[in-house]
Amino acid sequence: MNPQDPPASSVVLYVCADRPRTEPRAATQRAQTEGHAFARERGLTITEVVTDTYGEPDPARRGGWRRVRQLVQTGGVTAVLVRWPSAIAPESADELRHREIAWLNDHGVHLRYTWAPLMSLSGEMR
């Protein structure tokens, strides 16, 4: 296990990938497969997979992200796994992404990117 990895308590995989009319939900499946592999390789246990449909820029207006916040607030969540930053908020709304990452950090929760090119950037997007 990497020393930067959080302990294997409650790790949530958040997936916001497919657009409303996309079939057969290939992007969501790819993100879930990648997230589970990431967790397995690091000895992390995903206790819940939360999904949203891509399109709403403000994560606070998405039911899935509100569920992530609820899980964090009830305690025990040590990390949130996402494939890439735009799963939280698109580049055009990066201030919303920074707001949510800061909120996670304020609650002692690590944000980890599961897509290989971004793994080293996990949690630093300020």
The closest alpha carbon to 4, from 79, 64, 61, belongs to 79
Q: Regarding predicted confidence, which is higher, 106 or 118?
A: 106
55 confidence band (pLDDT: 50, 70, 90) = confident
What is the distance between the alpha carbons of residues 61 and 39, in angstroms, rounded to a whole number? 27
Q: Which fold has domain 10-121?
A: Rossmann fold (3.40.50)
pTM for the whole structure: 0.84
Q: Cβ contacts of residue 8 below 8 Å, gap of 6+?
A: 43, 44, 45
Instruction: Parse the chain into domains and list their residue ranges.
Output: 10-121
Each residue of 86-99: pLDDT tens digit?
A: 999 999 999 999 99
For 83, residues 6+ apart whose C-beta sits below 8 A from its C-beta are 15, 17, 31, 34, 35, 113, 114, 115
Question: Mean pLDDT over residues 108-124, rounded?
Answer: 80
